Structure 1
Amino acid sequence: MATAMAAMIQRSHVGRRSWRFLIVIAMAVFALAIVVIVQCSSISYGIGRTSSWPPLLEEAPEASSSFLVSPINNPGISDDSKLGEIQKFNLVGNTSVLASSNDEDFGDDIESISNMEFRDRSRPPAVEEAIELEPKNREPLQIVSMALSKNPEKGSLSLSKRLGRKKHPTTISQMNSQLHHNLVSAISKRPQRPSARDRELLSAKLQIVNAPIVKNTPGLHASSFWNVSRFKRSYELMERMLKVYIYKEGEKPVFHQSRMRGIYASEGWFMKLMKESKKFGVRDPRKAHLFYIPFSSEMLRKELYRKSFQSVKELEEHLKSYVNHISHKYSFWNRSSGADHFIAGCHDWAPKLTSNHMMSNCIRALCNANVAKGFKIGKDTTLPVTSIRSQERPLQDIGGKPPSERHILAFFAGGKHGSLRPVLLQHWEASKDPDMKILGPMLRDVESKRIYREYMKSSKYCICAKGYEVHTPRIVEAIYYECVPVIISDNYVPPFFEVLNWEEFAVFVAEKDIPRLREILVEIPEDKYVAMQSSVRMVQQHFLWHKAPLRYDLFHMILHSVWHNRVFGN
């Protein structure tokens, strides 16, 4: 009996020890799980903050946070913009403070800043805003949180994750195929109840498609076009036939007014020259092939800051009410559901503001030409982003050195706006290769601007990396300074894509291939580079503004793109 009792007691002690051991193990596992969860949360927060933050139309975060956007750094834009060069957002709940300087001269990254303005403005009307001036002698400030591995390949993967893409980007060759498909489909289209203008457009379409091959094309660089014979015929028909009616309705400053300097100058220059054109303008809308809505996306955005509107939604409603007004007053909009109407908008917000169903058929000339966000190749057209510092001298300082005197392989200078540029700078800013001049933001003084221009004029390739949005003025700047553009911006449709073969004078690098940037450029044979640089000089004329428009210049090329898409969309 005693022996049995002793055995039971011994088993009891062993059982207690086992349970204690199991309890200790369970507590350790629980503690480890908590640590892992906390670390994962921290990592995902860090990654989320480096993406294009805050997301479009997302509410302001409740937690207090602060970040700085590095200054605008491209010394080719006007001084008078109020958007500013340094923006500091101190977000506490729904309150924001915007610190801004007056100088827009370092301009390409205003695209990034304005995009964040859009996101900030998508918050409730209660959001308050104060504008302060930043001293001009302050050094550029940057605070960019990055969750990137030191391994270049992992850094590239991190970029892909931060972009948050669900689909593969559309390559330039896929855009070519889509354009060709749209043109083939358009050739067979016939309007059901053609008007006199429709019949004229149909005749023009047939003449363009059947254009005879021309060997002599004075003023045109044949290899830079998909089909120079068709372009020449289309352009001549536009000069001879096209009539545009400009709506008189709409009050300034949103309508009939736009700025001629700064990064959004394209919409202003086009509006001014279109309204002054006696060749294309017509007073009788019944004679018009196209109808121009003279609205300024930049001025509409400014009205939000002047408190004329309380939210981005009100801006959209303002445009919708305008379309309602002209569609009730005239029959022209309803006749084609807006397909023969067009707008030109260069602000980042323009695609969003014109994406409502009422304007879905309208031809849109947009700077922010993102095929992944509603830009339709064959209907919409890309408005070039031009850096205009002087309304009186829009062509100052253009030109560059010949290929033999360009000893820098690649040049870039800019802030870490968006998810792409931090990766570009991470890989190449501290490069040991002396021919890779990949820099952060430059100062804003006169000397720094001169140095910036000299870099572009002395480089073989100029890196045109997107900011928050796909467009950047560096593409046209590179052409101005006769430097071959290297476009790093997935899903961006380059200007005049309907007629220009961009691969003849530009290099397209996928965002994921940033770690291979130098390798890609070095592999281009010297004779091919020389040919591309020559093509850049030849196409330069198509990207120049003139106070009195010249044949094949920027005004005429924009108008031709709209004409082309109307003819083949008829």
Structure 2
Amino acid sequence: MSISCFSLLFCLPFFTFLTIHSKPVTSPYLSPTTIFPHYQNMLKTFKIFIYTPNEAFTFNTPAESLFYASLRNSPFVTHDAEEAHLFFVPFASGLSTRSIARVIRRLREELPYWNRTLGADHFYLSCAGLGYESNRNLVELKKNSVQISCFPASAGKFIPHKDIALPPFPKSNVPQAPANRTARFLGYFGHSGVKESSLVNELVNDPDFLIESEPSDQLSYTERLASSKFCLFEYGGDVSGIGEALRFGCVPAVITDRPIQDLPFLDVLRWQEIAVFVPVGGVKELKRVLGRTYGDRHEQMSKLGVKASEHFVWNRVPQPLDSFHTVMYQLYLRRHTIRYPRRERD
């Protein structure tokens, strides 16, 4: 039997799919044999140089603030820029693009590190993300430097394979997930009081779904997660509970009208094994996809999701493999940068 292809490149995804799914997946990680040795090496060797900001500043979101505080107090920080793998450019949330351009221009003129790679070994925090501007300093920051932004990212403000999405910061600290769970509902949708959702209007009277606004206490919230097979999230809406859903074995079902390229930890996790992505199409399409998944592999996805959930935990004092350290691991994977030819300054 012979198989012809216009290009081997077009054949590879098909054969890769067959290889991946020819046996049960037992790990939520893309590279289960290498992630932990590489993680340990990161803890021993990875170094970050933080530029000194012109003045004190704050971030607008808890995830940004906690990441920045954790980074500053971490052993990753070095005061010797020559031994740094990456450079962090700090600036406040909501800073104007003109002011950000001045920050980059100062780095370009006063220190040698930006010019060595045109910013390719630099990274910055911006929950909203930066758009495309004509200013050279902003162009290099956007195209070359790693942006760490919030999930979900604003349209057009996230570059896949370069940028990194912060995992959602939970609204409350839920207790430990129960060892045994009885899932009575096909899906739970905590829609945070949004009344203009057509999906909510369709599902509210369906006995297979538990549809509620933001719960008033932690106990009721955890009971809803534990009693549901799937937890529904509308991409672009409130996704703050996705980490808790994973921890409770409630498989996230993300409803979206387009491919999602800004998921947290895309370099680390097999998202297709811990979550379901449902095209926008109403209740009939939703129940079809969830019903098929529940019948085929829900139990395995639930177990893998519980394993993956430790990476979605934000700690005031960082702990191994938590959100802070997993974001740092993604930065570590980007430590080898392309050396661009140096250009004359404008």
Q: Deviations over 1:84-122 (max 9, x none)?
A: xxxxxxxxxxxxxxxxxxxxxxxxxxxxxxxxxxxxxxx
**8 Å contact kept, 2:188–2:209:** yes
Q: Tell me, in whole angstroms, the C-alpha distance in 2 between the residues paired with 1:514 and 1:354.
A: 41
> Is 1:295 equivalent to 2:91 in the alignment?
yes
Q: 1:559 is aligned with what amino acid?
A: M
Name the amino acid aligned to 2:65: G
Is structure 2 residue 52 aligned with structure 1 residue 265? no
Equivalent runs, 1:42-61 vs 2, <5 Å: none
Amino acid in structure 2 at the alignment position of 1:483: C
8 Å Cα contact 1:344-1:383 kept in structure 2: no
| Partner in structure 2 of residue 517 of structure 1 | 286
Identity %: 25
> Hey, what's the Cα distance between the residues in 2 that align with 1:323 and 1:417?
40
The separation in 1 between residues aligned to 2:161 and 2:270, in whole angstroms, is: 15
SS of match in other structure, 1:373: coil
In the alignment, is the contact (CA less than 8 A) between 2:87 and 2:123 conserved in 1? yes
Distance in 1 (alpha carbons) for counterparts of 2:85 and 2:78: 10
Q: Secondary structure in 2 aligned to 1:412?
A: strand
Which consecutive residues of structure 2, in runs of 5 or more, have no partner in the other structure?
Answer: 1-9, 17-24, 340-346
Give the 3 Å change call, closer, same or farther, for CA 370–442 of structure 1 in structure 2: closer
> Cα deviation per residue 1:233-279 (whole Å; 9 max; x = unaligned)?
432332232110011123222xxx346xxxx32111110110001x2
Larger Cα-atom Rg: 1
**Per-residue deviation at 1:520?**
1.3
Specify the SS of the correspondent of 2:272: helix
Q: Aligned partners of 1:507, 1:359: CA distance in 2, in Å?
A: 34
Deviation at 1:514, TM superposition (A): 5.1
More helix per residue: 1 or 2?
1
CA distance in structure 1 between the aligned counterparts of 2:259 and 2:194, rounded to whole angstroms: 18
Conservation of the 8 A alpha-carbon contact between 1:482 and 1:533: yes
Take 2:338 and 2:332, find their aligned partners in 1: how far apart are those partners? 10
Whole-Å separation in 2 of the counterparts to 1:354 and 1:228 = 39
Q: 2:252 aligns to what SS in structure 1?
A: strand
Instruction: Return the letter of the residue paired with 2:221.
Output: Y
Cα displacement (A) at 1:338: 0.8
Q: Which residue of 2 aligns with 1:274?
A: 71
Q: Is the 8 A contact 1:380 1:565 kept in 2?
A: no
Give the conservation status (yes or no) of the 8 Å contact 2:50–2:88: yes
In structure 1, the partner of 2:209 is: 436
- Paired letter, 1:561: Q
Aligned residue runs from structure 1 range 211-230, under 5 A: 223-230=27-34
Residues 319-375 of structure 1 show CA distances to partners (whole Å, capped at 9, x for unaligned) of 1111112221111111111111111233xx323389941312110111245596242
TM-aligned CA deviation for residue 479 of structure 1: 2.2
Q: TM-score, normalised by structure 1?
A: 0.50
Deviations 1:112-167 (A, max 9, x none): xxxxxxxxxxxxxxxxxxxxxxxxxxxxxxxxxxxxxxxxxxxxxxxxxxxxxxxx
Residues in 2 aligned to 1:293 and 1:408: alpha-carbon distance in whole angstroms: 46
Q: Is the 8 A contact 2:129 2:153 kept in 1?
A: no
| Alpha-carbon spacing, 1:539–1:427, altered in 2? closer, same or farther (3 Å) | same
Q: Which amino acid aligns with 1:436?
A: F
8 A contact 2:187–2:232 mirrored in 1: yes
Spell out the pairing of 1:481-560 with structure 2 (5 A cutoff).
481-489=248-256, 490-492=258-260, 493-512=262-281, 515-526=284-295, 528-560=297-329
Moved more, 507-516 or 284-293: 507-516
SS of aligned partner of 1:352: coil
- Rounded Cα–Cα distance in structure 2 between residues aligned with 1:357 and 1:377: 16
2 CA distance for matches of 1:339 and 1:273?
23
How many angstroms does 1:527 deviate by?
6.4
Residue matched to 1:352: 131
SS at the partner of 1:567?
coil
Task: Name the CA distance, whole Å, in 2 between partners of 1:335 and 1:563.
Answer: 19
* Displacement after TM superposition at 1:557 (Å): 0.4
| Contact 2:53/2:90, CA 8 A, preserved across alignment | no
Is 1:399 matched up with 2:167? no
2:123 matched to 1:342? yes
For residues 115 and 232 of structure 2, the distance between their equivalents in structure 1, rounded to whole angstroms, comes to 44
Task: Give the structure 1 partner of residue 48 of structure 2.
Answer: 244
Verify the 8 A CA contact 2:190 2:211 in the aligned structure 1: yes
User: Among 66, 80, 87, which residue is 1:284 paired with?
Assistant: 80
Equivalent residues of 1:268, 1:296 under 8 A apart:
no
Q: CA deviation at 1:398?
A: 4.2
What is the distance in 2 between the residues matched to 1:330 and 1:374? 28
Aligned-residue CA RMSD (Å): 3.1
Structure 1, unmatched stretches of 5+, are 1-173, 181-220, 302-314, 390-394
Q: 1:353 to 1:276 in 2, by over 3 A?
A: farther
| CA distance in 2 between partners of 1:485 and 1:569 (Å) | 36
Match of 1:184 in 2: none
SS of the equivalent of 2:233 reads: strand
Map 1:79-478 to 2 at 5 A: 223-253=27-57, 257-258=58-59, 264-277=61-74, 279-297=75-93, 300=94, 315-346=96-127, 349-352=128-131, 356-360=138-142, 361-370=144-153, 373-389=156-172, 395-400=173-178, 402-403=180-181, 405-414=182-191, 422-431=197-206, 434-439=207-212, 441-442=213-214, 446-447=216-217, 450-467=219-236, 472-478=239-245
Aligned AA for 2:99?
Answer: H
Amino acid at match of 2:232: I
Q: What amino acid sits opposite 1:359 in the alignment?
A: L
What does the per-residue CA deviation read over 1:181-208, in whole Å, with 9 as the maximum and x for residues that have no partner?
Answer: xxxxxxxxxxxxxxxxxxxxxxxxxxxx
Deviations 1:517-549 (A, max 9, x none): 112111224562111111111112111123332
Question: TM-score by structure 2 length?
Answer: 0.80
In 1, Cα distance between equivalents of 2:200 and 2:174: 30
Residue 226 of structure 2 contacts residue 250 of structure 2 at CA under 8 Å; is this kept in 1? yes
AA aligned to 2:140 is M
Tell me, what secondary structure is at the counterpart of 1:350? coil
Matched, 1:564 2:333: yes
